[in-house]
């Protein structure tokens, strides 16, 4: 009998609509070796490795009359070239163009009639680099039978200090070319099997009932989203029954989600976050959350939002726990949802850090937390799997709404490669739930911390400003350390030409980001000053002729922003 989808996986598929696609994605930037890295090499590598994860060759098959939840069956028409696709950027192949492509790819739903994953090889990047844009259904990656594709494709670079204790079949690719699909069950066999399960297994019968109900609610949700009107109201009720209440529409990060997405990325030196950690006695995860809190605060202020000292956001931050504390997996730990308050109303960066650390202490005090080092030592590139499990865990977080989803996947601190192509950056991209306009994924790898921001394209047009605020927020925390300054590893004289180019590229990116953010700051200050002048003129026009009226409160002096004469975007 084929394996049946769990009630959670059925709910994932039910919530997968045109406006809220249920897949997790990522952008991996690779530097090909001397042998190059093209579509044919990627096809051969994927064909070899997916032998270890049979579900990548399976599709979802419904049971007649919804007598039970759907099942996984082998795709008899499996076409690897359909899933491993090829794309190219026009010149000059900038990171902005890559982000634009990733946003368009992740906005589209996966084809439900085929295995639920896609992988794009993007060529034409500057400096001869290539990128992989991944898209995998949350129903596919459960951490037990199936891990994320990234975890199968990447191996430690020889001499980089990492080890890989996966099965020898990973190298031999046993079964990669000799795979033959199992015959699909007939509708009658599926119906008889469902009835037999319902009669002989009461626990499975309850799961089948839950799966059938979730499937029916998913149909109502999809129809309501497409038609609108009264069916749309019914679909909204069905969606709330599946995922819990939506966030308050008046929330700072709440709104109606469209069918389009926008992507932004940020790279931070891990040494800087560790410097803050060592100075104040917290964890790197605490520092990451504090950095994001400060960035969200600064970003919301540039949007004209009014924040008081008690303002805060509720983030859903899935945490790794021992197997008995969350959804089980084959990674040696589970993932459980954790609600974390982000104190965006606090102006002092150090106080923000302490408040965030106090919020995560509740998870640490349970005794079920898993050290980041244990997760980083997992074979392959485990962060991709951890992000998928984190999003799945967020669906079990109960009925209380949250403002945004944040996942943090610690990765190996040594270099990885896919068939000789070195991985230089990996940005996780998380899906948006209904009513949520922003999600944030964080991955640490080889001395860097990569932040992936995914937002609704129509509602969040200034996502690049938030990306710049992330780097600024880290600088604020670094100012609280004794040895102020970014600790950047410089390549030695014996470093390869590729390593020297990578270091130079990162330095140029940091400089360009600083210049861009400074220009955006000056533009925001001028906009606020112009708006204040308009309000002042309007107030004088409305003042009664009999007298000057009460004097407005005297504004507090503020330091002018730094002026960079060579800023290409904004002229001082």
Question: What's the pLDDT at 161?
Answer: 56
Q: Tell me the pLDDT band of 506, cut-offs 50, 70 and 90.
A: low
Question: What's the pLDDT at 395?
Answer: 83
pLDDT in tens, 177-207: 578 899 989 999 988 888 888 788 887 777 7
User: Is the confidence at residue 291, as pLDDT, over 70?
Assistant: yes
Cβ-Cβ contacts under 8 Å for 25 (sequence gap 6 or more): 102, 105, 106, 133, 134, 135, 136, 428, 429, 431, 454
User: Is the confidence at residue 377, as pLDDT, over 60?
Assistant: no
**Share of residues in the chain with pLDDT > 70 (%):** 68
pLDDT in tens, 512-568: 655 555 555 555 555 655 565 566 555 555 555 444 444 444 444 444 444 333 333
Question: What's the pLDDT at 355?
Answer: 95
Which token pair is 542?
Answer: 């409305």
d(CA 110, CA 103) in angstroms, rounded, equals 14
Question: What's the pLDDT at 318?
Answer: 87
Nearest-5° angle of CA 71, CA 409, CA 297? 115
Higher local confidence (pLDDT), 337 or 543: 337
Three-state helix/strand/coil letters over 464-521: HHHHHHHHHHHHHHHCCCCCCCCCCCCCCCCCCHHHHHHHHHHHHHHHHHHHHHHHHH
Do 314 and 340 form a contact (C-beta atoms < 8 A)? yes
Question: What's the pLDDT at 171?
Answer: 44
Mean pLDDT of 257-278: 96
How far, in whole angstroms, is CA 80 from its chain's centroid?
25
Question: What's the pLDDT at 566?
Answer: 39
Do 70 and 62 form a contact (C-beta atoms < 8 A)? yes
Question: What's the pLDDT at 234?
Answer: 47
Which token pair is 44?
Answer: 């051969």
If you write DSSP's letter for every residue of 154-198 in order, what string do you get? Answer: -EEPTTSS------THHHHTTTSSS--PPPPPPHHHHHHHHHHHH
Cβ-Cβ contacts under 8 Å for 400 (sequence gap 6 or more): 244, 245, 339
Mean pLDDT of 3-16: 88
d(CA 529, CA 515) in angstroms, rounded, equals 21
User: Is the confidence at residue 238, as pLDDT, over 70?
Assistant: no
Question: What's the pLDDT at 177?
Answer: 56
Please give the mean pLDDT across all residues of the chain. Answer: 80
Higher local confidence (pLDDT), 295 or 377: 295
How far, in whole angstroms, is CA 171 from its chain's centroid?
30
Mean pLDDT of 443-449: 96
How many angstroms separate the Cα of 324 from the Cα of each of 299, 368, 376?
Answer: 39, 9, 20
Mean pLDDT of 246-259: 82
According to DSSP H, which parts of 71-157 are helical? 80-83, 95-107, 149-153
Which token pair is 224?
Answer: 């309501």
User: Is the confidence at residue 504, as pLDDT, over 80?
Assistant: no
Q: Pick from 418, 384, 353: which is nearest to 31 by CA? A: 418
Higher local confidence (pLDDT), 483 or 135: 135
User: Is the confidence at residue 280, as pLDDT, over 50?
Assistant: yes
Three-state helix/strand/coil letters over 135-163: EEECCCCCCCCCCCHHHHHCEECCCCCCC
Q: Which of 23-32, 411-420, 531-540 has the lowest mean pLDDT?
A: 531-540
pLDDT in tens, 143-173: 888 889 999 999 999 765 555 554 444 444 4
d(CA 319, CA 326) in angstroms, rounded, equals 9
Question: What's the pLDDT at 561?
Answer: 42
Q: Pick from 390, 397, 398: which is nearest to 441 by CA? A: 390
Beta bridge partners of 406: 440
Q: Tell me the pLDDT band of 265, cut-offs 50, 70 and 90.
A: very high
Question: What's the pLDDT at 510?
Answer: 59
Q: Which helix (H) or strand (E) holds 525?
A: helix 497-542
d(CA 83, CA 56) in angstroms, rounded, equals 10
**Share of residues in the chain with pLDDT > 90 (%):** 51
Cβ-Cβ contacts under 8 Å for 307 (sequence gap 6 or more): 297, 300, 301, 344, 345
Question: What's the pLDDT at 500?
Answer: 67
d(CA 126, CA 443) in angstroms, rounded, equals 23
Do 257 and 432 form a contact (C-beta atoms < 8 A)? yes
* Sole residue written with tokens 């990234």: 150
Question: What's the pLDDT at 570?
Answer: 34
How many angstroms separate the Cα of 472 from the Cα of each of 111, 409, 514?
Answer: 40, 22, 8
d(CA 144, CA 147) in angstroms, rounded, equals 7
Q: Tell me the pLDDT band of 333, cut-offs 50, 70 and 90.
A: low
Mean pLDDT of 414-420: 94
Longest pairwise C-alpha distance within the chain = 94
d(CA 246, CA 248) in angstroms, rounded, equals 7
d(CA 288, CA 270) in angstroms, rounded, equals 10
Question: What's the pLDDT at 196?
Answer: 86
User: Whole-model pTM?
Assistant: 0.79
Cβ-Cβ contacts under 8 Å for 482 (sequence gap 6 or more): 279
How many angstroms separate the Cα of 276 from the Cα of each of 55, 270, 361, 457, 490?
Answer: 42, 10, 18, 33, 20
């Amino acid at each position: 009998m084929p394996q049946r989808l769990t009630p959670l996986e059925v709910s994932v598929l039910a919530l997968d609509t045109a406006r809220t696609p249920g897949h997790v994605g990522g952008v991996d930037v690779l530097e090909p070796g001397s042998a190059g890295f093209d579509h044919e090499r990627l096809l051969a590598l994927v064909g070899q490795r997916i032998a270890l994860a049979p579900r990548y060759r399976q599709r979802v098959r419904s049971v007649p009359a919804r007598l039970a939840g759907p099942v996984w069956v082998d795709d008899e028409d499996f076409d690897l070239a359909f899933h491993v696709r090829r794309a190219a950027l026009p010149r000059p192949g900038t990171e902005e163009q890559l982000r634009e492509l990733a946003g368009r790819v992740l906005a589209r739903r996966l084809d439900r009639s085929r295995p639920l994953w896609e992988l794009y090889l993007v060529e034409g990047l500057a400096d001869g680099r290539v990128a992989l844009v991944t898209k995998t259904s949350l129903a596919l990656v459960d951490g037990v039978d199936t891990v994320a594709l990234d975890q199968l494709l990447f191996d430690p670079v020889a001499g980089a200090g990492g080890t890989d204790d996966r099965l020898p079949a990973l190298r031999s690719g046993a079964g990669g070319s000799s795979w033959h699909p199992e015959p699909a069950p007939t509708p009658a066999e599926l119906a008889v099997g469902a009835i037999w399960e319902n009669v002989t297994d009461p626990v499975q019968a309850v799961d089948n009932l839950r799966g059938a109900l979730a499937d029916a609610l998913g149909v109502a949700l999809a129809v309501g989203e497409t038609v609108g009107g009264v069916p749309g109201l019914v679909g909204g009720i069905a969606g709330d029954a599946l995922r819990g209440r939506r966030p308050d529409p008046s929330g700072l990060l709440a709104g109606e989600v469209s069918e389009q997405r926008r992507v932004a990325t940020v790279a931070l030196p891990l040494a800087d976050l560790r410097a803050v950690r060592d100075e104040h006695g917290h964890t790197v995860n605490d520092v990451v959350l504090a950095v994001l809190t400060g960035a969200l605060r600064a970003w919301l202020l540039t949007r004209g939002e009014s924040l008081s000292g008690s303002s805060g956001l509720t983030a859903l931050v899935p945490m790794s726990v021992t197997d008995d504390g969350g959804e089980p997996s084959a990674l040696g730990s589970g993932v459980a949802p954790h609600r974390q308050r982000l104190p965006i109303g606090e102006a002092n960066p150090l106080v923000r850090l302490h408040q965030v650390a106090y919020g995560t202490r509740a998870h640490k005090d349970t005794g079920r937390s898993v050290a980041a080092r244990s997760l980083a030592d997992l074979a392959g590139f485990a962060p991709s799997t951890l992000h998928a499990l984190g999003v799945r865990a967020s669906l079990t977080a109960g009925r209380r709404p949250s403002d945004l989803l944040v996942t943090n996947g610690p990765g190996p601190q040594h270099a990885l490669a896919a068939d000789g192509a070195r991985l230089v950056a990996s940005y996780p991209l998380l899906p948006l739930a209904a009513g949520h306009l922003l999600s944030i994924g964080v991955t640490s790898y080889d001395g860097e911390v990569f932040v992936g921001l995914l937002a609704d394209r129509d509602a969040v047009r200034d996502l690049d400003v938030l990306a710049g605020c992330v780097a600024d927020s880290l600088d604020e925390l670094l100012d609280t350390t004794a040895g102020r300054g970014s600790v950047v590893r410089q390549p030695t004289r014996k470093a390869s030409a590729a390593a020297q180019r990578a270091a130079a590229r990162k330095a140029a990116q940091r400089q360009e980001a600083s210049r861009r953010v400074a220009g955006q700051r000056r533009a925001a200050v001028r906009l606020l000053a112009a708006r204040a002048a308009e309000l002042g003129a309007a107030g004088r026009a409305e003042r009664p002729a009999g007298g000057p009226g009460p004097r407005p409160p005297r504004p507090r002096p503020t330091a002018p922003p730094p002026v960079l004469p060579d800023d290409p975007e904004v002229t001082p």
